[in-house]
Amino acid sequence: MQLTIQASGKNVKAISYLLAKNPNNLYERKQKGHLVRFFYSKCTDTELDATIFVTPDPLELLQNKSNSYDITHYINDREFAVSSIFTSLIRSALGTALNGLPKEEYAEWVDHRFPFRFEIGPVASALSDQQLKDLFEPMGYEVAISRPEIDYSFHLKDRSSARTLSLSGMQTLQNGLRHLFVLIPVIDNYKHYFIDEKEIEKLERYGEGWLDSHPLRDFIYRQALRFKELYSLVEPAEASSTEAQPVKKVRLNDLRYEKIVELLEGLKPKSVVDFGSGEGKLTAKLGFINGIQEILAVEPSESAALKALERFNKLREKEQFVMPETVWGSLFYFDERLKGKDAIILCEVIEHIDEQRLPKALDTILHDYRPGALVVSTPNREYNEMYDMEDQFRHADHRFEWTRAEFAAWCGERNHQNLYDLEFHGIGEEQALHGHPTQLCIFKRKGALA
C-alpha cells in the first residue's frame, strides 16, 4: 500500500523541506511491526517524485493485540489495500507536513500552493468511480481512476477490482495530506473501529477549513464514523436560508448522559451512586442536578478514579456543583456505604461483565442495596446491523450484547421479587427495524420516589 507525491514547476524542491525528509536518504522505520519506507525518485528545483509505502507483517496483523493500532482493537486482514490502517501507520512519518510545522526557515512554504499529483493504491472500496470523484473534485482535484489489466491462466476476469486513484490539483502540501487522511478511511471497505473519541477529533483537526463546506460532508462523517458510536447532526438554522447552517456534532455518549440526567431530574433523588464511573464524565454532569446532595463515584480502576478526581476538582468552585466522592469498589464486593441510596446508575457497564456473573451482582444492588431507582443502559445488538457489525461486538471488551427482547427478559428476571416497576427507553437515532443504538431500563422501587 502506497502514496506517491509528485509535483513539477518552480520551487517544488521546497516540498522536501515541508516533508522534513532528506532526498539523499532512505527513510525506513518499523511502525507497530510493519516496515514504513519513504524515498525520492526525483528531487530537483523543478521536479519532485516521492513515495511512502508500507510492507505489512501478516503475523503482526493476525495477533490481535489490544494496542496494535491507535484506531482498532480488532484484527485487520486487509494487508495490502490503502486503508485507515495505512494512514495510521504513515501518520508519524508525515507528521511534520500534516501539522504544517517545518523548520522555521521553511515556514513560508506551508501555505504555498503547488501543482500536486497524489496517487494512492491499491484501493478496495464499495464506492463507485463517480462517488470517488465526488469526494475529491470539490477541493479542486482532477480525478483519474485506473484498474490494472489481469492475465489469468483461466478465465475469471480481465480487470482487477482494485483501483488506483490519481488526484491532480493546486494545493498546499498540508491540505493535500489532510484531504487524504480524512477521505481514505471514508472509501475504505474495512471496519475501522476505535477505542476512544480521538477519531472524531482527527476528523475535526484534519477537516478544518474544508470539511464543513464539502457538499458530501454528512456522507463523509457517516462513512468515517459508521462503526463508531458517534453521530454528526445538523441543526436547522434559525437565520435566513441563504446562510450556512450551524453544525452540532453529538456523540452517542453525550446522548446517553443527557438522557440519564433528564431521567434523574424527573426522579428528584438526593443521593446517587454512579457505578463504573470511569473518568467521571457522567458523574460530573450529575453534580449540577438540582436537589442532589450526595454523589458516590464507584470505580475499580485507580488510574481512572484519579482522572475523575482531577475532573471534579476543576469544577469544585462552580456554582451549585455538588462535589462527588470517589470510592474504590466493584459490583462484586458488598459495600455498606451504598445501601439505601435514592438512585444507582450502571451506564454501559453490564456488557463488560461475564453474563453468568451478572445475576448475583444485580441481586445485590436490587435486594441488598435497595435503591429508590436503578438505571441500566447497554448496547442494543439489533442496531449493530446499521454499523455492518451483525456478528461482532462494538468493543473488544464486551462479553455480550443483547437484543431488546433479551434485555427486557433479563430485566424482568432480575425483578423476581417484584419490588420494582420497569420502564424502558431508547437512546440515539431510532431505526424502524432495529430500534435505538442504546437501550435503557429504569427499575423504580415501588413507593420509593415520586
The reported pLDDT for the residue numbered 149 is: 63
Q: Nine-digit cell at 132?
A: 470517488
* H helical segments located in 291-367: 302-315, 358-363
**269, 372 Cβ separation under 8 angstroms:** yes
> Model-level pTM?
0.52
Strand partners, 294: 271
Pairing between strand 34-43 and 27-31? antiparallel
Task: Give residue 179's Cα distance to chain centre.
Answer: 18
Q: What share of the chain is helix, strand, coil (3-state, %, to 5)?
A: 35, 25, 40
Q: Domains in the chain, start-ordered, CATH in brackets?
A: 2-193 (3.30.1610.20), 253-445 (3.40.50.150)
Rounded CA gap, 263 and 119, in Å?
Answer: 52
Rounded CA gap, 253 and 314, in Å?
Answer: 21
**225, 251 Cβ separation under 8 angstroms:** no
Task: Give residue 207's Cα distance to chain centre.
Answer: 15
Could you write out the DSSP letters of every residue in 50-83? Answer: EEEEEE--HHHHHS--TTSBTTBSS-----SS--
* Amino acid occupying residue 304: A
Rounded CA gap, 190 and 442, in Å?
Answer: 37
Closest CA to 206 of 234, 232, 227, 175: 175
Rounded CA gap, 301 and 322, in Å?
Answer: 22
The reported pLDDT for the residue numbered 178 is: 95
**180, 135 Cβ separation under 8 angstroms:** no
**372, 449 Cβ separation under 8 angstroms:** yes
The reported pLDDT for the residue numbered 81 is: 63
Rounded CA gap, 380 and 16, in Å?
Answer: 50
Q: Nine-digit cell at 305?
A: 478514579
* Amino acid occupying residue 403: T
Rounded CA gap, 257 and 440, in Å?
Answer: 12
188 contact partners, CB below 8 Å, separation of at least 6:
81, 82, 83, 84, 124, 125
What is residue 443's three-state secondary structure?
strand
What is residue 231's three-state secondary structure?
strand
Main-chain dihedrals φ then ψ at residue 422, nearest 5 degrees: -105, 140
The reported pLDDT for the residue numbered 292 is: 96
Q: Nine-digit cell at 178?
A: 489532510
pLDDT by residue, tens only, the chain of 450 residues: 799 999 999 999 999 999 999 999 999 988 767 889 999 999 999 999 999 998 876 555 445 443 333 333 333 334 456 677 788 788 889 999 998 989 999 999 999 999 999 999 888 787 889 999 999 999 999 999 998 665 544 444 444 457 899 999 999 999 999 999 999 988 876 544 443 455 677 788 899 999 999 999 988 887 877 654 444 433 333 333 334 444 455 688 889 999 999 999 999 999 999 999 999 999 999 999 999 999 999 998 888 899 999 999 999 999 899 999 999 988 888 999 999 999 999 999 999 998 999 999 999 999 999 999 999 999 999 998 877 666 778 877 889 999 999 999 999 999 999 999 999 999 998 888 899 999 999 999 998 865
Dihedral of alpha carbons 111, 117, 120, 124, sign: positive
The reported pLDDT for the residue numbered 148 is: 67
Q: Which long-range contacts (CB under 8 A, 24 or more apart) does 38-45 make?
A: 38/93, 40/16, 43/13, 43/16, 44/12, 44/13, 45/10, 45/11, 45/12, 45/13
**263, 443 Cβ separation under 8 angstroms:** no
**91, 137 Cβ separation under 8 angstroms:** no
Rounded CA gap, 97 and 191, in Å?
Answer: 27
**283, 297 Cβ separation under 8 angstroms:** yes
Rounded CA gap, 359 and 90, in Å?
Answer: 46
Closest CA to 46 of 11, 4, 5, 6: 11
**361, 346 Cβ separation under 8 angstroms:** no
Rounded CA gap, 125 and 116, in Å?
Answer: 24
Rounded CA gap, 345 and 264, in Å?
Answer: 10
Rama region for 32: left / alpha / beta (φ>0; ψ in -120 to 50; rest): left
Rama region for 234: left / alpha / beta (φ>0; ψ in -120 to 50; rest): beta
